[in-house]
A = this chain, B = another copy of it.
Amino acid sequence: MTAKAENAALPIEGARILIVGGASLVGSATAELLLQQGAGEVTILDNFYQGSREAIHHIEGNPRLKVVQGDVMRLPQLLAASKGVDGILHLAAVMSITMDRDPWVGLDVNIRGAQNVIEAAWIGGVKKLVFASSNAVYGYGPGIVGELMETTPFHSTDAPPAAILYGASKIIGEQLCRDAHRKFGLNYVVVRYSTVYGERQHYRAANALYIIETHDRVRAGQRPQVIGDGSETKHFVHVSDVARANVAAFASSATDIAVNISGPKPTTTLEIVQLVTELAGKSLAPEHVAPDPGKVRLTSGGAWRIDHAKAAKAIGWRPQVDMREGIRRLIAWREAAERKQVAG
């Protein structure tokens, strides 16, 4: 192991970590895990445009948690929040649905936001940056088949503009990290999440939406909807596995690398719908419908799988939660949250 590689490890015990865009599905789960693993201080910075207080309610009592209202577009706020920080997890981003509605805001947040975070990390002498990317860097459409490795190119033919804009903005964010590593020696790990789902799930990601939309329908006694024949591939990853990957990215000696973070195995939309229906305790036959052309739907051409062998090797991470367990947890959380609302 080289000296440089050793320096790139950031042990969690006692570490001060800033999570940019942290009042979110992934941010709250990662903050919770960092606190459990003995982080000295976890600061969540969020502008609460997409993030919410509810997403971090379960950890807000922790004395080692700090919540700062701030915006990734405001460099001075990032500089203030990153003072004395050992590591930054950069999550703040606009996804395909918001990108479709407003590409100006989306590209600003995803690109200028990444530049600001990198700048703050460098100025603040931060030891390691973990940059949240996406399997969107492989693109969409009929070109996506087989094993998607970290070297797979970006396919965009016939994909919706917003999806390509999102993927390209993540490619740019990754390259800005690489550029900062080369020019200033910034240590970083890019974690390319596949579709994240789980407790505190939001309504903003085109793919993950599938699970909660289906759950909403079957709970209301409506037949679940499957687009086309339901054979389309989806590859989800449970939020708890993503949180573990973020923590592993800090703790490992890896630097200047991008790794896929995906669940145990891919599934199909039909399987998802059947699983959600079963775990919701319903016996409703799925209804096959045509895709809604007005919606940003990310269609996949054939069978594919997002390989995560590189993450196992580089940061010692493997997914633990399969779809059945993950959907069970998501449904249990939604039902508990609603009982609490009714009781309150």
Contacts and interface: CB of A to CB of B under 8 A. Distances in A.
A179 interface: yes
A156 interface: yes
A155 interface: yes
16 contacts: A103-B115, A103-B179, A107-B172, A139-B154, A143-B153, A154-B154, A154-B171, A156-B171, A156-B175, A161-B179, A164-B172, A165-B175, A165-B176, A165-B179, A168-B172, A168-B175
Contact of A161 (B153, B162, B169, B182): B182
Query: How many monomers of this protein are in the complex?
Result: 2
A115 B162 CA distance: 14
Given A153-B143, A156-B153, A168 B165 contact: no
A155 B171 CA distance: 11
A215 B154 CA distance: 37
A154 B153 contact: yes
Interface of A: 103-104, 107, 111, 115, 139, 143, 150-151, 153-157, 161-162, 164-165, 168-169, 171-172, 175-176, 178-179, 182
Nearest to A150: B157
A151 B157 contact: yes
A161 B68 CA distance: 32
B103 A107 contact: no
A146 to B, nearest CB: 13
B151 A154 contact: no
A186 to B, nearest CB: 12
B111 A176 contact: no
A176 B165 CA distance: 8
Contacts of A176: 103, 161, 165
A104 B112 CA distance: 8
Contacts of A157: 150-151, 153
A103 B118 CA distance: 12
With a 10 A CB-CB cut-off, give which of A104, A151, A172 has the most chain B CB atoms.
A172
A178 B171 CA distance: 19
Given A103-B115, A104-B115, A111-B107, A164 B153 contact: no
Given A103-B115, A154-B156, A172 B165 contact: yes
